[in-house]
Amino acid sequence: MDLDYKKNDLSQVVAADKAHVWHHLSQHKQYETTDPRVFVEGKGLKLWDATGREFLDAVSGGVWTVNVGYGRESIANAVRDQLIKLNYYAGAAGNVPAALFAEKLIEKMPGMSRVYYSNSGSEANEKVYKMVRQIAHRKHGGKKWKILYRERDYHGTTIGTLATSGQPQRAEQYGPYPEGFVPVPHCLEYRKQWDVEDYGRRAADAIEEVILREGPDTVGAIVLEPVTAGGGVIVPPKGYWERVQEICRQYDILLHIDEVVCGLGRTGMWFGYQQYGIQPDFVTMAKGVASGYAAISCTVTTERVFDLFKEDPSDSMSYFRDISTFGGCTSGPVAALENMRIIEEEGLLENTTAMGARCMANLKALQKKHAVIGDVRGLGLFLGAELVKDRTTKEPVDEKQAQAVVAECLAQGVIIGATNRSLPGFNNTLCLSPALTVTAEEIDRITNAIDVALTKVFG
């Protein structure tokens, strides 16, 4: 089949999409009267749809994924060459790109040791939950089986990971959920829950309070995003992470950092947790690992965790009895290797820091101009602007108004994001996460579009 859109009549493609594709996060009733958008090509941060219209993508593929930008021939060629040589064998055996990428990845993660491959962030997190539960059975007499999660954080779409969703609207209508997943308070100082000076430490102390309430001998792990993503781009306050690490060590609780969004450069370092000098027991990652050029996720552990599954082979129940079928695909790790090379050789971590600073400065300038911007926050090329009706009361704008800003930016050919259908009453944060290759001119175009959109929506 010839898939060259320049040769084919794209009206047939759009019709086929409309008739047969079930889109993610979409209410399809709207497509009874309008066509879905179908993208056909991308280069750098630019996208073109089936009508030929050009867009500047400020959200890296819609869900924080295409870290090195579109149209990377070197990644495509590396994947092609590997697929011809060996496309797949189940993960019970090894393959060349999986071994080499694991080695390269661990070089970037001091203190970590082992890489378990699967194919999505949800699955990578689910693997940790299973490991924690198995450790509880094998090492703690069935105790320490509970897993803590934080309000506003998000960890995936499976029933297990939705049980740790700190975003109630995402979890709504999919219960009942399995037991043993316990929430802890969020740490967004702009929406402070305690009137104290050392807010970061106080927010972390709230985790200890939950541990003591549940019983330290029942809590096996806590899962946290280094920077909360879809829950409003929340950078934890100073002192928070250090105290979290201290609490975990005090009560022998495994620390699981979900880097599905932040990993591979988004914050200006290889991983978000490295911004805080902490040492996790588990790190999960997916989206930016191969920038969307192939499906891959990784569950990375310390050697200490790995050793908990090493027993006499005669014990048939001792090992981690899990498999991810497509974790055996070679396309993921070979794409990840080339993705990492690009980040290194093109200095994209440094660009992320520089362009993130420019974007933050632009957003703060907009905050001075538009009273509707209550707070601006972020780290690297991961930024948010929370919209409020009144800066004194901090009353959030309606979700429809935030989405109207997104729509006005789209009308200008700029794709931005916003929290939506996640947090009742608080789906009011605009989200930016452009590719790590973004230029100063592109940053300015993105924030200029927001400026125009805010004026149109709020005056």
Q: What is the mean pLDDT of the chain?
A: 96
- The closest alpha carbon to 322, from 161, 149, 87, 90, belongs to 90
Is residue 143 located within the same domain as residue 263?
A: yes
Instruction: Tell me how far apart the alpha carbons of residues 309 and 435 are, in angstroms, rounded to a whole number.
Output: 38
DSSP line for 359-370: HHHHHHHHHHH-
Q: Average pLDDT of 65-79? A: 98
Instruction: Tell me how far apart the alpha carbons of residues 366 and 238 are, in angstroms, rounded to a whole number.
Output: 25
Is 358 inside any structural domain? Answer: yes
pTM over 0.85, yes/no: yes
Residue 318 has pLDDT above 90, yes or no: no
Encode pLDDT of 288-304 as tens digits: 999 999 999 999 999 99
Last-in-domain residue among 289, 324, 345: 345
Is residue 177 located within the same domain as residue 303?
A: yes
User: Can you give the pLDDT at residue 141?
Assistant: 94
Residue 9 has pLDDT above 80, yes or no: no
Q: How many CB atoms within 10 Å of residue 355? A: 23
Is residue 139 located within the same domain as residue 36?
A: no
Is 298 inside any structural domain? Answer: yes
User: Can you give the pLDDT at residue 8?
Assistant: 61
Instruction: For residue 54, count CB atoms less than 10 angstroms from its CB and return exposed for 0-12, middle for 13-18, buried for 19 or more.
Output: exposed
Instruction: Tell me how far apart the alpha carbons of residues 340 and 106 are, in angstroms, rounded to a whole number.
Output: 12
Q: Average pLDDT of 308-333? A: 89
Instruction: Tell me how far apart the alpha carbons of residues 434 and 166 are, in angstroms, rounded to a whole number.
Output: 25
Q: Average pLDDT of 66-73? A: 98
Is 317 inside any structural domain? Answer: yes
User: Can you give the pLDDT at residue 458?
Assistant: 96
Identify the helix (H) or strand (E) that includes residue 389.
Answer: strand 383-390
Is residue 258 located within the same domain as residue 295?
A: yes
Is residue 297 located within the same domain as residue 389?
A: no
Give me the CATH number covering residue 432: 3.90.1150.10
Domain encompassing residue 423: 10-71+348-458
Instruction: Tell me how far apart the alpha carbons of residues 377 and 200 are, in angstroms, rounded to a whole number.
Output: 15
Residues 6+ apart with CB under 8 A from 427: 169, 396, 399, 402, 418, 419, 420, 421
Residue 315 has pLDDT above 90, yes or no: no
Encode pLDDT of 416-457 as tens digits: 999 999 999 999 999 999 999 999 999 999 999 999 999 999
- The closest alpha carbon to 225, from 276, 289, 150, belongs to 150
User: Can you give the pLDDT at residue 20?
Assistant: 93
Last-in-domain residue among 302, 329, 345: 345
Is 4 inside any structural domain? Answer: no
Is residue 447 located within the same domain as residue 299?
A: no
Is residue 331 located within the same domain as residue 358?
A: no
Question: Is residue 235 classed as helix, strand or coil in its secondary structure?
Answer: coil
Is 306 inside any structural domain? Answer: yes
Number of domains in the chain: 2
Is 1 inside any structural domain? Answer: no
Q: Average pLDDT of 259-283? A: 98
Is residue 147 located within the same domain as residue 166?
A: yes
- The closest alpha carbon to 235, from 268, 196, 211, 206, belongs to 268
Identify the helix (H) or strand (E) that includes residue 220.
Answer: strand 219-224
Is residue 329 located within the same domain as residue 375?
A: no
Which residues share a beta bridge with 219?
146
Last-in-domain residue among 330, 345, 360: 345
Is 2 inside any structural domain? Answer: no
User: Can you give the pLDDT at residue 3?
Assistant: 56
Is residue 274 located within the same domain as residue 361?
A: no
Encode pLDDT of 20-69 as tens digits: 999 998 999 998 899 999 999 999 999 999 999 999 999 999 999 999 99
Is residue 422 located within the same domain as residue 380?
A: yes
Contact 355, 440 (CB under 8 A): yes
User: Can you give the pLDDT at residue 1?
Assistant: 45
Instruction: Tell me how far apart the alpha carbons of residues 258 and 380 are, in angstroms, rounded to a whole number.
Output: 17
Torsion of CA 160, 164, 169, 173, to 10 degrees: 30
Q: Average pLDDT of 379-383? A: 98
- The closest alpha carbon to 434, from 42, 66, 48, belongs to 66
The token duo for 97 is 């790109």
Count, residues in the chain? 459
Residue 93 has pLDDT above 50, yes or no: yes
Encode pLDDT of 167-217 as tens digits: 999 999 999 999 999 999 999 999 999 999 999 999 999 999 999 999 999
- The closest alpha carbon to 367, from 377, 358, 352, belongs to 377
Q: Average pLDDT of 112-128? A: 98
Contact 121, 287 (CB under 8 A): yes
User: Can you give the pLDDT at residue 311?
Assistant: 82
Give me the CATH number covering residue 274: 3.40.640.10
Q: Strand 146-150 and strand 219-224: pairing? A: parallel
Is residue 124 located within the same domain as residue 240?
A: yes
Is 5 inside any structural domain? Answer: no
Residue type, 75: I
387 backbone dihedrals φ, ψ, rounded to 5°:
-100, 135
